Chain A
Amino acid sequence: MARNAKKNWDADGRAVVGLVVNGQALEAAFAPHKTLLEVLREDLNLPGTKHGCELGECGTCAVLVDGKPMLSCLLLGLECEGRRIETVEAMSGPGGLHPLQKAFADLGAAQCGYCTPGILLTAKALLEANPNPSLAEIREALAGNLCRCTGYIKIFEAVELAAAWLRGEAAQPRHESLYGSDFDESGLLPVVRNGNG
């Protein structure tokens, strides 16, 4: 924990803290008991970071702090003096979506989309440390992020696909991940008429 004595306080009793948010150095003033989650959403107008419990149980609010996934609901804004914070808002840019974002959209790894920012950032940290993770390593890295929609399967596949793209491979979504196994790709899918056989 950064215990920086150089903290400033404004006239309203708010802490004035220097942060590097999405590549931009800035000073934010907020009540000293606020979590990083609250500072991002309420004081820095970055609502892309979501919350599911505010108790460190679900992983929804994960952001990158100095490149590492951290639960922003368990960090005080005060503890982030001088640290590099990265939120989902910085993942895409004028160049378009980050490969992870594109893979998540293409494969339906984001259904309701609520856990998605936290999972994208956690996966991004994984791929930066390990460009070719095994499925077990992906499971391990995302074990702290709950998703109630997808059963995680499309998330695993999207992380694998994005990893391949980031490695420069011309990977495509697998046929069975789009249509299921043993399913005709023709577009006119086989009609079952012998259901009661």
Chain B
Amino acid sequence: MTSRKRTRVVGRPYPKVDGAAKVTGQTKFADDIVLPRMLHCKLLRSRLAHARILSIDVSRALAAPGVVAVVTGRDLPIPFGILPVSQDEHALSTDRVRYVGDPVAAVAAVDEDAASDALAAIDVEYEPLPPVGTIEEGLRPASTPLHDYGDSGNIHKLVSMEFGHTDDGFARADRIYEDLFFYEGSTHLPLEQHAAVADFGPDGRLTLWSSTQTPHYVHRALSKVLAMAPSKVRVIATSNGGGFGGKSDVFNHEIVVAHLSRVTGRPVKICLTREEVFYCHRGRHPTLMKVRTGVKRDGAVTAMHFQTVLDGGGYGSYGVASTYYTGALQTVTYEIPAYRFDGARVFTNKPPCGPKRGHGTPQPRFAVEVQLDKIACDLGLDPVEIRRRHLHPRGTLTANFLRVGSMGLGACIDKVVAASGWGTRRGRLPYGRGLGLACSSYLCGAGLPIYWNSMPQSGVQLKLDRSGGVTVFCGSTEIGQGSDSILASIVAEVLGIDPFDIRIVTGDTDLTPVDLGSYSSRVTLMTGNAAIQAAERARAMLAAASAGKLGIPESRVALDGGRVFDAEDPGKGIAFPEAVALAESRFGTLGTVGSYSPPPSAGRYRGAGVGPSPAYSYSAAVVEVEVDPETGIYAVEKVWIAHDVGKCINPVLVMGQVEGSVYMGLGEAMMEEMAYRTDANGNVVHKFPSMLEYKSPTTKEMPPVETFLVEDPDDNGPFGAKEVGQGPLLPIPPAVANAIFDAVGVRIDEVPVTPEKIYRALKAKALGQPPRYGPAGFPPVPYPEPIHVPTPAEGGDGKAVDAAVTGAGGVR
């Protein structure tokens, strides 16, 4: 499916196709939609972190001025959840609230003020329950667990798997290192607050406009919870004002406004407040990690045992997948011949965690890369060499049966090492100044869909009209990453026309074929391949119809520059619209389809559904810091990053994704914290649900970034392309921590790396204690006995050896 021939559009810098709309403020976001007779919705949210709902009385609210309808959980009893295994949410809580912000009732009124005022007139009687605030509390036996499902008490999920023989691997090691790490939670903080508008028409059809990354999954959930035929439900994903994973769940408010529109017969809009966006969350899981790694003297890993516990918050969300992801991608960067992973996720009375850029992998990547830095130091190796020497070979399977295809990590390392002056500067800068290196890898789309099915993960339809117009229909969702532009570029490349002459219709479940959504960095690879197939089919029809007119064989027909011509005599040709008209005359109304399904996974063990991907992107980064050794206050002075994107479809978009990922990685590394406190009444509350207190980098914290794009084309990528939206975030937090060590000689084994933690570690160092700040212990976790999977090197076939626990791949 890849093409190595010279390209005309692919690889060239184009503005985004929606760029003009965006710079003129004309892009319609969900909250910009205004419909006649529209009502406004507000949600009543719990102020208790954990409580039973004893009663809800809405009679006073119903009588309030301007109020048209009030609904509670009793009106929407069918549960939902993004994963089939975690159908644990209700549009409005039925009998229990599980975090501060959990919605219990909703009002539709003539304006927002009337709806807000009416919330105060809803009387809810609660019986407070003891809240679970931390991972440690979540692991304890519980008298009243948050949910009546899960692996035990408040433990939502426990997994354990071993690939190869880690005992043998540790026995072969010259040294064994054991380290503890903690990665704090953070939230997406899209500047657009979530908004949705529902319109239930007199024909019994529902339309929902929503700032969602996953209209297909919202479509399925609406149909289920509202008990409506899917054919009567239409979900339109409006352009997202930032997503980053935060709009890829199905949200309470989307279902509630749909239901309110159904009961009132009027359109209903909701736009969440910024405080509510913090409560929606679904962000990075706080994760505690214990890593045991055996190495030879040259730094070769002989075995790794990786343990994680994730603080999941109040609901399942993507959490089962997140848990597996904290153990999945350790193996795709450096060779790890024997690998064991134990993972656990606990429910706590906090907003649910879910997928944030990098989904479940920045936490373990932080641990792996900081530990490698420590190992290199201890063995007297250069942190570059310990990585460079042991890169996973391309075109082979990892111990856990992930297929590494193209692998440009070595080239990435070379670029940032050379540009940063690593060889002459690292370890030699004045005290207080330091360089840190880290590497990473990420998926180009999850190998499996969220619900089991054997249909394509992405579909594209093309319509060609006789005037020469080309329209692309695809279910993908433009969240700012440029997915509409990618579709336009690829179709333009194949048909030899200008990308700006193509109309793009995306993210509309009535009009567009299914694409699973903008998550797991799947869009360029999957929609791109589907678009190539659809466009090649259209191209074949145009070539067949034009060949006769040009008097040449079809094989000589070329399409470029808006013309269809003889490749051997380019002067002889016709305009593109004429070719379309000829094709329509010959074949009838013109339309083609394309679809994409990822290759089957090699792993066949239980849990093998998380981790496989058609391709993996690679990144390497060097970060330079300046630390004040008196206070621990530091600044990131510069970042060098190289990213193996396979092939740039549009370098402008690729650069933007790399720089944006570096920025978001710096936010997590330096300051962002989704933190909670227990108030005087024992309630677990968000520490600061506002942008003023939730610190994110401004223009003044953002350092210069020097970016290197590396192209190592992958056979599975469209034109060789791989992902870029998430991967370049991953090396940043560990590179910052490693740079701090180079600068002042202390290890911060925790994200965010704050001045206070550096200060404490410097204090400890001065007192002769271990020069480190990080978790002191790892709680006992009842991980099960692992399944045993022989590795490819051992001749394994991808299945676990104990037949009793063997199952097909997938999250079950």
Chain A residues with CB under 8 Å of chain B are 47-55, 57-58, 60, 87-89, 91-92, 97, 100-102, 104-108, 110-117, 120, 138-140, 142-156, 173, 176-183, 187-197
From A88, A97, A146, A196, give the contact of B691 (CB < 8 A): A146
Bound Cα distance from A57 to B278, whole angstroms: 14
* Residues of chain B lying within 8 A (CB to CB) of residue A188: 6-7, 11
| B660 and A55 contacting across the interface, CB-CB below 8 Å | no
Chain B positions 225 through 244: 1 when the CB is less than 8 Å from some CB of chain A, otherwise 0: 00000000000000111111
Bound Cα distance from A116 to B664, whole angstroms: 18
Bound Cα distance from A51 to B192, whole angstroms: 7
From A100, A146, A179, give the contact of B698 (CB < 8 A): A146
Given A111-B481, A178-B655, A104 contacting B23 (CB threshold 8 A): yes
| A153 and B712 contacting across the interface, CB-CB below 8 Å | no
| A195 and B410 contacting across the interface, CB-CB below 8 Å | yes
Kindly state the interface size class of chain B when it binds its partner.
35 or more
Given A58-B691, A143-B700, A114 contacting B241 (CB threshold 8 A): yes
| B419 at the binding interface (Cβ < 8 Å) | yes
Bound Cα distance from A113 to B690, whole angstroms: 22
| B58 at the binding interface (Cβ < 8 Å) | no
| B168 at the binding interface (Cβ < 8 Å) | no
Q: Which of B25-33, B117-125, B784-792 contacts A (4 or more CB under 8 A)?
A: B25-33
Determine how close the nearest CB of chain A comes to the CB of B619; give it in whole angstroms: 13
Bound Cα distance from A146 to B274, whole angstroms: 14
| A195 and B644 contacting across the interface, CB-CB below 8 Å | yes
Bound Cα distance from A182 to B708, whole angstroms: 7
Determine how close the nearest CB of chain B comes to the CB of A96; give it in whole angstroms: 10
| B12 and A187 contacting across the interface, CB-CB below 8 Å | yes
User: For chain B residues 642-656, which have a beta carbon within 8 Å of chain A?
Assistant: 644, 647-648, 651-653, 655-656
Chain B residues with CB under 8 Å of chain A are 6-7, 11-13, 15-16, 18-29, 31-32, 188-193, 239-244, 273-274, 388, 391, 393-394, 406-411, 414-415, 419, 479-482, 618, 644, 647-648, 651-653, 655-656, 658-664, 690-692, 696, 698-700, 702, 704-713
Given A181-B419, A189-B648, A192-B411, A108 contacting B655 (CB threshold 8 A): yes
| B242 and A189 contacting across the interface, CB-CB below 8 Å | no
| B702 and A151 contacting across the interface, CB-CB below 8 Å | yes
* Residues of chain A lying within 8 A (CB to CB) of residue B710: 192
| 26 A-B residue pairs with CB within 8 Å | A48-B25, A53-B690, A92-B24, A113-B21, A113-B27, A113-B239, A113-B241, A139-B700, A142-B699, A145-B699, A146-B191, A149-B480, A150-B656, A150-B663, A151-B663, A151-B702, A152-B663, A154-B659, A179-B655, A180-B709, A183-B651, A195-B406, A195-B409, A196-B394, A196-B407, A196-B409
* Residues of chain B lying within 8 A (CB to CB) of residue A115: 191
* Residues of chain A lying within 8 A (CB to CB) of residue B655: 108, 154, 177-180
Given A54-B274, A57-B692, A111-B656, A49 contacting B25 (CB threshold 8 A): yes
Given A189-B648, A193-B712, A148 contacting B242 (CB threshold 8 A): yes
| A97 and B410 contacting across the interface, CB-CB below 8 Å | no
| B192 and A195 contacting across the interface, CB-CB below 8 Å | no
A60, A183, A197 pick with most chain B CB within 10 angstroms: A183
Closest 8 CB pairs of A and B: A48-B25, A112-B480, A113-B22, A151-B663, A114-B241, A105-B19, A88-B25, A57-B691
Bound Cα distance from A184 to B242, whole angstroms: 31
* Residues of chain A lying within 8 A (CB to CB) of residue B708: 180-183
| B24 and A97 contacting across the interface, CB-CB below 8 Å | yes
Closest to A158 in B: B23
Determine how close the nearest CB of chain A comes to the CB of B417; give it in whole angstroms: 12
Bound Cα distance from A151 to B729, whole angstroms: 11
4 other A-B residue contacts (CB within 8 Å) besides A89-B25, A181-B707, A188-B11? A108-B482, A114-B191, A139-B700, A151-B662
Determine how close the nearest CB of chain B comes to the CB of A121; give it in whole angstroms: 10
| A97 and B20 contacting across the interface, CB-CB below 8 Å | yes
* Residues of chain A lying within 8 A (CB to CB) of residue B29: 50, 114
Bound Cα distance from A47 to B26, whole angstroms: 8
Closest to B409 in A: A195
From A57, A143, A194, give the contact of B699 (CB < 8 A): A143
Bound Cα distance from A137 to B724, whole angstroms: 31
